[in-house]
Structures are given as C-alpha cells and as structure tokens.
Amino acid sequence: MSKYVFGIDLGTTYSCIAYVNEKGDSQVIKNSEGDNLTPSVVEFEEDNKIIVGEDAKEDTVLNEDNTVQFVKSLMGKTDFAIEHNNEARTPEEISSYILKKLAQDASEALDTEVKDVVITCPAYFGTAQRTATKNAGKIAGLNVLEVINEPTAAALFYGCTRDSENKTIMVYDLGGGTFDVTVMRVNADKIEVICSDGDHDLGGKRWDDALMDYLFDKVREQEGYDGEFDEYMQQNFRLKVEEVKKKLSFREKVNGTFEIDGKRIKLEVTRKEFDEITKILLNETLNKTNEVVRIAKSKGYDEIDEVLLVGGSTRMLQVKDTICEKFGKEKVKIFEPDEAVAKGAAIYAVDVYLNNKKIVETEASDIIKENKLNPDDYKENLSVETEMIGVGGVFREIVTATTKSFGVKAVKDGEPICLNMIKKNELMEKGFIEEKRIFKTMSDNQEIVNIEIYESDYMDDVIDVDDDFYIGNAILELPRNLSKDSSIEVILKLNKEGILEVTGIDKTSGKKVNVKLKTKDAMTEKKLEEIKEKFQGMLVV
C-alpha cells in the first residue's frame, strides 16, 4: 500500500519521477545512483538481466548491439524491435524497463510501493503513441491514472495557477529528442490549452548530430583522416559531444578529447561555431513557435504574458537569448527545466487522485442510499486507499485541446477523400470531443463498412487520402438486405488523453454498434498480456 501518487517524465534522453511530499512540495526522487535524472538507455545482458540508466549509457560504445537509446521516438510503432537472444522487443516493452527502474528506485528511497502514476508525453503525440505510453506503464506493473501533456505539467509546476488573474502563457519545451510549443490560458482554478505544435525529431540529439558532423570534418581537415567513422567511433564521439555541448552553455570555448583509431586528439569548439552550425535547428523551433502564436492570435489571444522554458536543451544559451529577444526578457522564466515536467505531473497526479476519490465516493454513496446496500461492498477501487501524506488543495480544471485532426475516408464522385471530423486545436470543454457524421452505403446488400481513420496536422474540412496519415480501421457489420445509400452514422470521440474511440450506428434499424479501432502499429491486448507475463521474470537494475 502506498501513501503517495507519482508523476513520471518518460523522456527521450533522460527520465525522472516525482511526488508531492509531506509539506505539499513537489520533489524529484533520486535514483539508486544518487541522481535526479536517469538516462533513458536500456542494455540487455545474459540471463534476462536488464541494465537501465547511467551504466547502460556508458556501455553504448562497447555494447552497442545490445543497447537501446531514444526509444521514445519509436513509441506507437510496433514494427520496430531490437533483437536480443533471437527475441524481438517492442518500444513499449523497452520503455517499461525505464519505468520499472524509476519505480523501483523511488520505492526504495521512500520505503513505499509505487503504483499509481501519471505519465507525461509530448502534446503532439497521436492516439497510437499515447496508447503505447499507457501500455508501457501497464507492462511495468503500474496503474496509469492518466497520460498528461508535458507543457501542461510544466505549467502546473511553474505555479501558473497560483495567480487569480487570467494570463496567456507559452510553454517552449525543447527536450533531448522532441520539441513542443503550447499556448494556454491560466488562472488559479483552470488551465485552458489554446493551441500547440511540435516535432518528434527535433531535440538536443539533433544539436549533438550537427556538432558531431562538424567535428568529423575537423578531424579530416586537421588530422588528414580519410577513413570511415565506424560505430565505435561514432558512439564515442556522441558521448563526448554531449559533454562539450553542455560546457558551451557557460564557456566561450571548449576543448574535447576524442579517440580516432586508438589515437587521442584534442578538438576546440567555440560557442560561436556551435551556434552557427545549429542555427537552422533553432530556426525550426521558431517557425513552430511563430505558427502557434499566429493561431493563438486568430483565436483572440493577442499577447503572450509569460514564456516558460522547459526541457534540458533550453539550457543552451542560444535558446534563452533568442526567446528573450523575441518576447522580452522580463516575460521569460526558466528554472529546473529538466525536472519541471515530472514535478508538474506529480502535482496533477494528486489532483487526479482527489477527483477520482470524490467521484467514486459520491457514486458509491448514491448506490448505497438508493438500494439500501451494505457500505462495505462499495469500497474505493483505487490502489491508493489510505489518506495521503501532505495532500491538500483544490482540484484544478484542465481543459485540453486536440493536438491532431482525425478524419474518415469516404468516396465522393468516385474519388477517395478524407473528411476531417475532429480538427486540431479544438477545445475539449467536457474533457472530450465527440463528432458525428452520416455516411451512405455504396451498394445493395452491403455486409460491412470499413471505417478507415486518418490522423494529421491539417485543419481543412477535406484533405487528400495519404497512407502516411492512416492510423487504423474499425469494421462495422451491417444487417442483411440493406439497400444502397442506407444511412450509417459514424461517431468519433477523443478523450482528454488523446485516445480515440469509434462508434457506428445503422440508422435503418437504429442498432448501435461500438466498433474497436484497430490502430496500425498498436499493440494488441494479447501481445500486451504476453509481454506483461514475460516481464515478471525480468531483473531490472
């Protein structure tokens, strides 16, 4: 039994876990190595032993074939796997090892069970990626209360809801592997997401890649090296480049020692050089930022009152200086960028717990009174049943916005089109958004309707059918003897976690059929149970 709930930032390069302590403060829990952050690196050894964290990261050079990094960018893609001992492992499974490591270390540090958690994900994550994140938690044996967007979690930690006046804030979140930018309206009781955008392949790793390529060119010029940079040298360079990049945040120039074919060489990099070779990447984040600000203005939010810098990569001076110049230094806030998301998730986890407890108790009380039942038969079903230490305050209402558009494939004048039923950046005032549309059968005696779902960033009513946007389908079985042009109603419902449900109604008979969306690349329930069972025998250290 646990007296806490937890927030987890499952990051591309680093992850961490936090909780709300006895004083009501959100606090990151150190791992078994004594660090606040755990590298999101997994190494597979013999005898089902799995190493997660700093030791695994250090072994990426020597044991590259059995080490996995940057798995977050592969979430929701089951066609990816790492082979170890002739066994394929999915991104969800690999992520579950990171979550297990965080939970184990937190459990030992606090001497309590780690069970109920809120896990964060980028705002732009689609339904398959969010489902994969929840599945990773399930495999790790955790009860995932909710998946929350990283910018929303950061806003909670930065205390944006402490002021009673309404403010429009922007969260600029540049992590190790991803970039998010979100505009939201906040006050003491409510966070309302206005719009967001992001890039799953734009983060600190790209800055590392650019610096690596630059240094490879320097080696060729200064050392006359004309050989290939094999995997060992590339991994060695990557570890050193990350150190150089971090030092450039407080030094004008840095000398790094690198190994080329067994020979150690020193290379100098100035901050000016680094800024110049990565300027194009910074501009990519600014393009996304400008677009989000434009959309916010089109919705009537003309002025950004505060800018929150979140994510470890915002420590780079080029980022802070550029954002300060663009929005005004007095508006920009940055503190604990590596931990803000996990701490905000912990605050939200308490809110979710309190709200769920209130709902369960109210429902149970109503049932007991109406049916004159024994109260002992209707105890709260959350795993956290004791009074939590240090928990207090008021539940904050969070109104999210859709981060993707969802459409259904149809045929018009003999040509396939995609009709966007749910559009990106629409508010979900009720905690979900539901859209309905009537379609027609294409032939007499049609037996099924194949409802094909497409997910994109386009906000037009109609878009071209593009296989890159296809995320899955749902099969609706029809009654016999239906005539051509019979009405079929399709209902798409997106919850606040960004997970989509599909419903179909045969309007002729009035029969309602809930059809399960078979998401492309999503893990099946059978596969999930198989991995959970296998996970029980794993040793994660």
Burial environment of residue 225 by CB neighbours within 10 A (0 to 12, 13 to 18, 19 or more): middle
Task: Say which DSSP state 468 is in.
Answer: G
What CA–CA distance (Å, rounded) separates 140 from 124? 24
Owning domain of residue 414 = 405-520
Lowest mean pLDDT among 172-181, 183-192, 495-504, 523-532: 523-532
Q: What is the mean pLDDT of residues 480-487?
A: 87
Alpha-carbon torsion (270, 271, 276, 281), positive or negative: positive
Q: Between 272 and 235, whose confidence is greater?
A: 272
Compute the mean pLDDT over every residue in the chain, rounded to the nearest whole number.
83
In this structure, are residues 484 and 443 in contact, taking their beta carbons and an 8 Å threshold? yes
Instruction: State residue 376's pLDDT score.
Output: 54
Structural domains of the chain, count: 2
Asked if residue 133 is part of any domain, the answer here is: no
**pLDDT at position 385, please?**
39
Helices H / strands E in the chain, number of each: 11, 30
Q: Which of 249, 277, 305 is the last residue in one of the domains?
A: 277
Asked, for residue 510, whether it belongs to a domain, the answer is yes
24: confidence class by pLDDT, cuts 50, 70, 90:
confident
Which pLDDT does position 85 carry in this prediction?
64
- Placement of tokens 């002729």 in the chain: 508
pLDDT computed for residue 523 by the predictor: 63
pLDDT at residue 476 is higher than 50? yes
Q: What is the pTM of this model?
A: 0.84
CATH code of the domain covering residue 487: 2.60.34.10
- The model's confidence at residue 342, banded by pLDDT at 50, 70 and 90, is very high
Residue 439 maps to a domain = yes
| Share of residues in the chain with pLDDT > 70 (%) | 83
What's the rounded Cα separation, in Å, for the pair 152 and 348? 9
Q: Phi and psi at residue 138, in whole multiples of 5°?
A: -65, -45
Mean pLDDT on 126-140: 90
Three-state secondary structure of 183-203: EEEECCCEEEEEEEEEECCCC
Alpha helices in 170-306 (DSSP H): 204-223, 231-247, 271-277, 279-298
Rounded Cα distance between 145 and 135, Å, is 12
Residue 108 counted as domain residue:
no
Residue 333 lies in a domain: no
Q: What is the pLDDT of residue 429?
A: 84
* Burial (CB count within 10 angstroms: exposed 0-12, middle 13-18, buried 19+), residue 229: middle
Residues sharing a CB contact under 8 Å with residue 123, sequence separation 6 or more, in sequence order:
149, 150, 151, 152, 180, 182, 193, 196, 198, 403
- Say if residue 367's pLDDT is above 50: no
Residue of 188 and 516 predicted with greater confidence: 188
Copy the structure tokens of residue 521: 């690349």
Please, which residues bridge with residue 518 across strands?
Answer: 473
Please, which pLDDT band fits residue 533 given cuts at 50, 70 and 90?
low
460-483 mean pLDDT = 86
pLDDT in tens, 370-394: 555 555 554 444 443 334 434 444 4
| Site of tokens 């009709």 | 419
Whether 421 maps to a domain, the answer reads: yes
Out of 6-20, 92-106, 503-517, least confident range: 503-517
Residue 345 vs residue 477, higher pLDDT: 345
Query: Residue 400 corresponds to which tokens in the numbers above?
Result: 């999210």
Q: What is the pLDDT of residue 74?
A: 84
Hey, which residues does 411 pair with through a beta bridge?
416
Q: What's the rounded Cα separation, in Å, for the pair 407 and 279?
A: 36
* pLDDT score for 2: 64
173/285 Cα distance (integer angstroms) = 10
Secondary structure of residue 340 in the 3-state scheme: helix
Whether 94 is in a domain gets the answer no
pLDDT exceeds 70 at position 300: yes
Residue 441: both structure tokens together = 């059968």
Residue identified by tokens 């002021």 is 163
Among residues 430, 400, 384, which one has the least CA distance to residue 156? 400
The string of pLDDT tens digits covering residues 311-325 is 999 999 999 999 999
User: What three-state secondary structure class fits 429?
Assistant: coil
| Residue 398's pLDDT band (cuts 50, 70, 90) | confident
Asked whether residue 481 is assigned to any structural domain, the reply reads yes
- Examine the pLDDT at 359 and tell me if it is beyond 50: no
Inter-CA distances, 105 with 29, 53, 345, Å: 8, 11, 18
Q: Which residue has the higher pLDDT, 476 or 5?
A: 5
Using the 3D structure, point to which of 221, 245, 277 is the last residue of a domain.
Answer: 277
pLDDT of 383 reads: 42
pLDDT at 37: 95
Give the integer Cα–Cα distance in Å for 246 and 238.
13
What distance in Å separates the CA atoms of residue 143 and residue 361, rounded to the nearest whole number? 19
Of the two residues 260 and 501, the one the predictor is more confident about is 501
Q: How far apart are CA 114 and CA 105, in angstroms?
A: 9
Task: Identify the pLDDT of residue 282.
Answer: 96
When pLDDT is averaged across residues 184-193 and rounded to a whole number, the result is 85
Whether 285 and 279 have beta carbons less than 8 Å apart is answered as: no
**pLDDT at residue 375, rounded to an integer:** 52
- pLDDT bucket at 191, cuts 50 / 70 / 90: confident
- Of 213, 242, 277, which residue constitutes the final position of a domain? 277
The Cα 248–Cα 276 span in angstroms is 13
The residue among 152, 98, 27, 42 whose CA lies nearest residue 498 is 152
Mean pLDDT of 140-159: 89
Residue that wins the pLDDT comparison between 323 and 526: 323
Per-residue model confidence (pLDDT) at position 120? 95
Cβ-count burial of 430 within 10 angstroms (0-12 exposed, 13-18 middle, 19+ buried)?
exposed
359-376 burial, b for 16+ CB within 10 Å, e for fewer? eeeeebeeeeeeeeeeee
The C-alpha angle 78, 11, 248, rounded to 5 degrees, equals 130
Q: Give mean pLDDT, residues 179-189.
A: 88
Closest CA to 476 of 453, 439, 504, 512: 504
pLDDT in tens, 270-295: 999 999 999 999 999 999 999 999 99
Q: Picking from 248-257, 296-305, 383-392, which range would have the lowest pLDDT averaged per residue? A: 383-392
**By the 8 A CB rule, do 125 and 153 touch?**
no
Higher pLDDT, 351 or 1: 351
pLDDT band at 109 (very low <50, low <70, confident <90, very high): very high
- Domain CATH code at residue 234: 3.90.640.10
pLDDT exceeds cutoff 90 at 420: yes
d(CA 315, CA 245): 10
